Structure 1
């Protein structure tokens, strides 16, 4: 049994797994992309834009975060994800406003702070404007950031690129409602100008302190929000003379407040993150429980010194068989059905345990998180 929590920041939602004490199996801390895709699937899994792992810290950092996109790829950073993780930590440990966490990510050290109104303020670090580090092949323009024109489905788009630990491209447009969003977003994500692919943000400027964007997230497609994208957009807009050094960035899921004081140093993001529900993955969805059910034995190599004739040598094993894929239309092994075996094991577990025992086994912090949320709402 594996417990999880579901959190969302402006509609950008994540499955959060607690592993700060080193309790997560290696099949989860270094997950197979196929497993990530299955958990994030909104019809056959839990459903999420990504999976967040809270892991033991390194050096002076209190903890380490890994985040995986819905397609199974790993992201360097995620602004909404870091806020969701901070809210999860506060709920789990009963932390009060003012609490901060030093969290190491593939993009560097990030420090979120719990605010009095329940929102999370995050020091996102300075923006990356060196094309090689974004990375992008766009050249640096007069405004000091990577810029250029990209041909996209018959349109010539003026773009600017900014790194926030992960790559972003910002495309100013006159009217967000009239652009071919899916077509342009998918094409720009994989444009050769971005060797590591990129997140794509279409920007409509309503005023010097009011920006609106639509998000095409690398590895996830259209999403309701992107915290690092909002930061990258504000930086690009400021350098292009389209906004002040602090602005509200409106995303489909709601607003974020982004500031880059005097256009120097760190970018700061402030926004909400909320719990959705807690749950438990059944054994069929846990990778280390699945493994013995679908894995085939390793093929045995003939021993040169084995005196048995070739006909008696062990035959190589057949290719691995994945019940969830190979039996999608109909069972291919009715006499030895892996799914039936798995279901029988699950039923045996359910028959042998009470609901309270399952919850206790799943997580000893579930009650604490629930109490913390109730106390917070009653106090508000």
Structure 2
């Protein structure tokens, strides 16, 4: 039984799965690109812009985050996603402000914090402004970041590139509402100037402290908001001389406050994240009966694994069969998971999931009740 919670940040919605207490959580979840696509399908599945896993840490953080786009691809990070993760953690654990989390991501360690007003303020770290770190084929201009004019579907676009652990193309325009986002965004995402593809943001400057933007998200298409994109857009617009270091950025789903701190060089993002509902996925969604899901043929794998990695990540690379049967690192964990599942009936699993969902919902309602004077 796959238990989830759905959260949204400015309309950018995600399915949250909690695997922090499970040693073999990624194997137990049984996710594949095809199953992520099915979950995120808004007609045949639950619906969402992506799936987020909360996992045990590997590098000294409090937890590790993996995120998958609606198409099954795995991006390095997501600003709206990590705000949703922080709100989900607070709701699940009963945390109140001030509370911060050290979260390991493919873009490095990111630190979201719960503010007194319920919003999430995230230290997104310093932006990446060199071609090799974004990555992009654009050259660094006098502005201090990669810039250039790219031909997209026969139309010249003045593009600036910045990274927030993932790549972003920022295109200032006079009228953001007039842009054909579906056509130009899709074409610029896969432009040869961005070898890892890119998120695309068209931005209109209302004032130095007020920008309006529209988002084409890599692997997801048009979305109502993009946290890392808002950060990259503010950085790019400031270096281009169009914006202050602190500004409100209006996205289709609502506003974010972005602050590029001059002292630390870090970018801070502040915005909302809200619970939508909790649920349990029916096995039939994946074409399964009541039995435990079998290993899939195309597992999700970690992005850019190091060739010098001393040990295998058995939760991903060994899902179709153990590559080191003589010294399997996860044999004990797999045995415990198997014993747990074999010892519980489907009714038992449904009951456990229901109790957990009820507990989380009661905690959330208690948090939202006004204090008695």
Structure 2 Cα separation of the partners of residues 294 and 176 of structure 1: 43
CA 139–26 in structure 1, closer or farther in 2 if over 3 Å, else same: same
Q: How does 1:146-161 map to 2 (within 5 A)?
A: 146-161=146-161
Q: Answer whether contact 2:103 2:110 (CA < 8 A) is retained.
A: yes
SS of match in other structure, 1:202? strand
How far 1:287 sits from its partner (Å)?
8.6
SS of match in other structure, 1:379? coil
Q: How does 1:205-244 map to 2 (within 5 A)?
A: 205-244=205-244
Structure 2 Cα separation of the partners of residues 263 and 211 of structure 1: 23
Task: Give the number of aligned pairs.
Answer: 323
Task: Structure 2: give runs of 5+ residues left out of the alignment.
Answer: 298-343
Aligned to 2:367: 376
Residue 79 (structure 2) pairs with residue 118 (structure 1): no
Q: How does 1:80-99 map to 2 (within 5 A)?
A: 80-99=80-99
Structure 2 Cα separation of the partners of residues 292 and 175 of structure 1: 51
| Residues 34-75 of structure 1: per-residue CA shift (max 9 Å, x gap) | 111111111111111000000001232010000000000001
Aligned to 2:38: 38
TM-score, length basis structure 1:
0.80
Larger Rg: 1
TM-score, length basis structure 2:
0.82
CA 35–226 in structure 1, closer or farther in 2 if over 3 Å, else same: same
Q: Answer whether contact 1:3 1:363 (CA < 8 A) is retained.
A: no
CA 51–294 in structure 1, closer or farther in 2 if over 3 Å, else same: closer
Task: Structure 1: give runs of 5+ residues left out of the alignment.
Answer: 296-348
Structure 1 Cα separation of the partners of residues 120 and 156 of structure 2: 38
SS of match in other structure, 1:37? helix
Superposed CA RMSD in Å reads 2.2
1:367 to 327, 350, 358: 358
Q: How does 1:1-380 map to 2 (within 5 A)?
A: 1-22=1-22, 25-27=25-27, 31-262=31-262, 265-285=265-285, 289=291, 291-292=293-294, 353=347, 359-362=350-353, 364-379=355-370
Structure 2 Cα separation of the partners of residues 81 and 286 of structure 1: 24
Q: Which shows bigger deviation, 205-214 or 368-377?
A: 368-377
Structure 2 Cα separation of the partners of residues 159 and 263 of structure 1: 27
Structure 1 Cα separation of the partners of residues 110 and 296 of structure 2: 39
